[in-house]
Structure 1
Amino acid sequence: MSTYTSPTSVAAHTANTAAVLRITIVAAIGGFLFGYDSAVINGATSAMREYFGVGATALGSAVASALLGAAAGAALGGRLADKIGRVRVMRIAAILFLFSAIFCGIDPFFGADQGGFYWLVFWRVVGGVGVGVASIIAPAYIAEIAPADIRGRLGSLQQLGIVLGIFASQIANRIIVALAGSSDATWLAGLPAWRWMFLLCAVPALVYLVGAFLIPESPRWLVQQGRRDEAMAVMTHLQGEGPAQHRLSIIDRTLDTEHKPKLSDLAGKALGLKPIMWIGIGLAALQQLVGINVIFYYSNQLWESVGFQESDAFTISTITSVTNVVVTLVAILLVDKIGRKRLLLIGSVGMALTLGTMAGVFATATVTDAGPVLGDVAGPIALVAANLYVIFFGISWGPVMWVLLGEMFPNRIRGAALAVAGFIQWIANWLVTVTFPAISEISLVLAYGLYAFFAFASIFFVIKAVRETKGVELEDMHD
């Protein structure tokens, strides 16, 4: 951030930091919907399997269907945002969320037959496109409006929104099950309780849609479109006149050397891509290959499979979500103080140890016709290890990956680079999600052993490849 320190600009900076925070929170509602929409199905999986009469593979496809939509949304979102603006794309994402919530909750055509299952999958994909778009736009938008000295904390609000969304879905699902009696019971308006889990997502979708009409467009995008006066007005409101003039002069200088971003800009000599792109791809893929979303998508089913009752499984999942929220808040406090790279290393080591412990614990489980059963000692150890794993992920790879993707790429390739990295992140998410039911039926030891391997690999990746970006202006990022 500029060192401009006149009395008037300092006072303005204090007030405008609050304005930047408000705008960032609106953008981060996309993260909330991302978390809610992707995790709400956790409480519905068992009921859906019974309702539609599908097997483990089909169930995995239904859970993962939103992720394929998200991959498409991430691939298209960056380029669309470069064309029509960040805020307009947020509005599109909100509308997609809204329609997905309504039609996953209400099936006017097919009901419980196979057609109804495919209808649900279709609308999960539509919601997934909204998720993918929001996941790419929020980090870019936040990075473009935030002062460098607090950019990490503001960028981390995207992950805070995600974990709050996951937590809210767990609470909503628990309340619905408590009121209806079970997730497959018929409840309000004659709908199964699990349908209401999806319908409730319409509320935050509406909030996001309204909020997206109340925030300004990215100043950098406005300058790129030749609307410099509008950009100056936004930046002056957010940072004061002196810092705004300084920041816009830097943006002008960088845009003079740029052209319209396209995928070919990412080409390089390192196996066809620029080295910075491989780092972004590695970050995006490893964040998912450590298996974090298995905890949030399948935790109820997992804990029921090893002997816990449905109500106990909901309680455990809720505790896990609360833990994730708390540690994300800790990460927000630390990311601009101790840096991105150090947090990633702490998380990688912790995840490798805890996932290895979970694999070892499940190796001791007694296998019955109903599935593996943990003993009186192994059960609590698995619970502690799972929550410690969430702590290490939540303080590191959860928020820091999004912060780095939002800020690590040079301005001239940021849109295209985010699209590719976001696509890879969602494909990796889909791969883990769709394969877990089948792998877990073979062996939970194999599943958690694989995730432990990728966590271990991430240690060396961070040491060798990741560069620290703390305090560096976006205009100073390079290949």
Structure 2
Amino acid sequence: MAGANDGALPQQVNIGFIAAIVAVATIGGFMFGYDSGVINGTQKGLEAAFDLGKLGIGVNVGAILVGSAIGAFGAGRLADRIGRRSVMMLAAALFLVSALLAGAASASAIFIVARIIGGLGVGAASVISPVYISEVTPAAIRGRLSSVQQVMIITGLTGAFVANFALARYAGGSTAQFWLGYPAWRWMFWLQAIPAAVYLVALLVIPESPRYLVAQGRIDEARAVLTRLFGAAEADRKVADISRSLAADHHRPKLSDLVDKTTGKIRPIVWTGIGLAVFQQFVGINVVFYYGATLWEAVGFSEDYALQTNILSGVLSIGACIATILLVDKIGRKPLLLIGSAGMAVTLAIVAWAFSTAVVGDGGAVSLPGNNGVIALIAANLYVISFNISWGPIMWVMLGEMFPNQIRGSGLAVSGFAQWIANAAISVSFPALVVSPGLAVTYTGYAIFAAISFFFVRAMVNETRGRELEDMEG
């Protein structure tokens, strides 16, 4: 098979340059994580400032997901037109605007608009950063370098948790006044402007994806980038391989490419991408990310301790992602997905059982009897570890590399859109589900989806470890 990889790196590969490119591209992952996680810990401030009920909180928290779905769908298509780097720069600008506007919002409607703008950036970064990384890295180490994206997502989430905790602790609470007389929760959003600005400036110094350049007929520019990445000899081979992969059916990429012209049906690889994207959300992970503080307060934790628990989950997530980096190019993508599905199904079932024992005391205070609170906390963190050693990074690795060159942008657009719609369905519904039918039933539902995902992976997912992007089929 042309371009097949035997697990060895090209002799002249420029690891330092590739590492620098990946470091810049994954700042988008950091912003994705920070912008998604910052809402966790600001909800008391939003309730007080905008006089919100449960439904209002759900809408304000979920607003980012509307933008994210649109951003993911639009970015995949736009990247085929203006380039991967240009779309990432647009995302960085959206992050900056969102951070400033969300912190300054004087009404719920303005805040919702700000979060939708941020969501456009999150959606764009979520799909374009992984595909950009996959297109500038050698097949032998593509999995581990693509997995860095998830490390940065979790680092961004953890960074938001740490910043929220520090601001709330220093100010005396998330609604207490802080610097310049503004409450701490507003500064939680304004802090995002710093990494957003860094991301925008750093993107100016990295090259465009060579596969995009070849698709646009800019062969000399593509060869120059590939020479810097892999050396002259490997650059010539890759230009030939990319051109070959596009030559059989080369035209401007469009959504109709996702339909097999022979059968008239949507390509199976597209259904696999959509399934991976949807199951990653239906296991309920973003309930922990978006509502972690509220969740633990609901079972009797103080605000301060709940925010500390968020930080613990973030640190464990980073450790799990680092384990993925060490394993993904050795044992493959599919085995990690299967391990994660099994682990999540078991731990979610334990969390559901623990919450089923909750009791309501005087004044409506909720608590878990005996050691059940500790059991719930341990099981929840084992669930987070199971997710982040598998579905967290691997879903993005797979979406970035599994599609053939001609349909990569369109495949990402549809899969990314499905991922964020599923995210919205889970996240917006959670506050109401806590009330009825309750946490135990809700977590049982997530456990069932985790179990189903195991069989989906066995039936639908093909291993991509060590394969060149030009050799992907579907």
State the partner residue of 1:470: 465
Q: How does 1:270-285 map to 2 (within 5 A)?
A: 272-285=265-278
Once the two structures are TM-superposed, the CA of residue 272 in structure 1 deviates from its matched residue by 4.2
Q: Does 2:257 align with 1:265?
A: yes
State the partner residue of 1:118: 109
Deviations 1:116-145 (A, max 9, x none): 011001100000001001111111111111
State the partner residue of 2:166: 175
Deviations 1:140-186 (A, max 9, x none): 11111111000001111111110000010011111101111000011
**Counterpart amino acid of 2:225?**
V
**What percent identity do the matched residue pairs reach?**
51
Q: Flag structure 1 segments of 5+ consecutive residues without an equivalent.
A: none
Deviations 1:230-270 (A, max 9, x none): 11111011111111111111011112122211111112499
Q: Retained in 1: the 8 A contact 2:352–2:440?
A: yes
**Counterpart amino acid of 2:103?**
G
Deviations 1:375-423 (A, max 9, x none): 2311000000000000100100000000000011111111101000000
State the SS of the aligned residue for 1:213.
helix
- Give, in whole Å, the separation in 1 of the partners of 2:236 and 2:304: 57
Once the two structures are TM-superposed, the CA of residue 227 in structure 1 deviates from its matched residue by 1.3
Once the two structures are TM-superposed, the CA of residue 58 in structure 1 deviates from its matched residue by 1.2
- Give, in whole Å, the separation in 2 of the partners of 1:230 and 1:376: 65
Q: What's the TM-score, normalizing by structure 1?
A: 0.95
- Give, in whole Å, the separation in 2 of the partners of 1:417 and 1:475: 15
State the SS of the aligned residue for 1:375.
coil
State the partner residue of 2:294: 301
- Give, in whole Å, the separation in 1 of the partners of 2:235 and 2:407: 23
Q: Does 2:128 align with 1:128?
A: no
- Give, in whole Å, the separation in 2 of the partners of 1:312 and 1:221: 48
State the partner residue of 2:53: 55
State the partner residue of 1:206: 197
Q: Retained in 1: the 8 A contact 2:5–2:466?
A: no
- Give, in whole Å, the separation in 1 of the partners of 2:19 and 2:267: 33
State the SS of the aligned residue for 2:331.
coil
1:87 counterpart (80, 85, 88): 85
Q: Does 2:414 align with 1:450?
A: no
**Counterpart amino acid of 2:80?**
D
Distance 1:406 1:188, change over 3 A: same
Q: Retained in 2: the 8 A contact 1:31–1:159?
A: yes
CA RMSD of aligned residues (A): 1.8
Distance 1:472 1:200, change over 3 A: same
- Give, in whole Å, the separation in 1 of the partners of 2:360 and 2:460: 42
Q: Retained in 2: the 8 A contact 1:78–1:415?
A: yes
2:31 counterpart (33, 36, 41): 33
- Give, in whole Å, the separation in 2 of the partners of 1:21 and 1:426: 29
- Give, in whole Å, the separation in 2 of the partners of 1:259 and 1:121: 39
Distance 1:375 1:134, change over 3 A: same
Deviations 1:283-323 (A, max 9, x none): 00000000001011111011111111111111111101100
Once the two structures are TM-superposed, the CA of residue 370 in structure 1 deviates from its matched residue by 3.2
- Give, in whole Å, the separation in 1 of the partners of 2:326 and 2:195: 26
Q: What's the TM-score, normalizing by structure 2?
A: 0.96
Q: How does 1:319-358 map to 2 (within 5 A)?
A: 319-358=312-351
1:392 counterpart (373, 386, 390): 386
1:74 counterpart (64, 72, 75): 72
- Give, in whole Å, the separation in 2 of the partners of 1:454 and 1:271: 30
State the partner residue of 2:104: 106
